[in-house]
Amino acid sequence: MYQAGKRTQALLSEEESELVNVLQALEAKEFPPANMASARALLAARGAHASKPSVAIVQAAVKIAESFRALVRGYQAGTEGRLEDALALAKESWALAEKAKAISPTLQELATRVQGIAESMAKQAREMMQGGAPAAP
């Protein structure tokens, strides 16, 4: 794989697979698996970046993985009652996804999806901080 020059693509494919795992785990409210999958996605993206640091899609993939990582940490903070942390991590996730879109429009759809989830998480955190019950997802 290394000699054929396909390692970067394999790592990006692994990242994509792990990001799907993150979304599925979050949907099922299974935070430990989401946390592990987001860590694996980030490691794969960073591995691809080490191989091809100047390629835009690789740079954007790192930002997307970082965005997912912040998203998972934000969800966990929210479930632990650390609402200010959840809000800050939602904002961080949204901003990282925006950077990914700016680097490579190829990831626009995924980045926009992450931003939607981050916005929802931030809204719920704000509502809970104001003493209300979170809105149903």
Express each pLDDT in 37-90 by its tens digit: 999 999 999 999 999 999 999 999 999 999 999 999 999 999 999 999 999 999
How many CA atoms within 13 Å lie on the side-chain side of 126? 8
Q: What is the pLDDT of residue 134?
A: 55
Q: State pLDDT tens for residues 78-132.
A: 999 999 999 999 999 999 999 999 999 999 999 999 999 999 999 999 999 998 6
Report, as an integer, the average pLDDT of 25-44. 96
Q: State residue 45 phi and psi, 5-degree precision.
A: -65, -40
Angle, vertex CA 89, rays to CA 85 and CA 90, nearest 5: 115
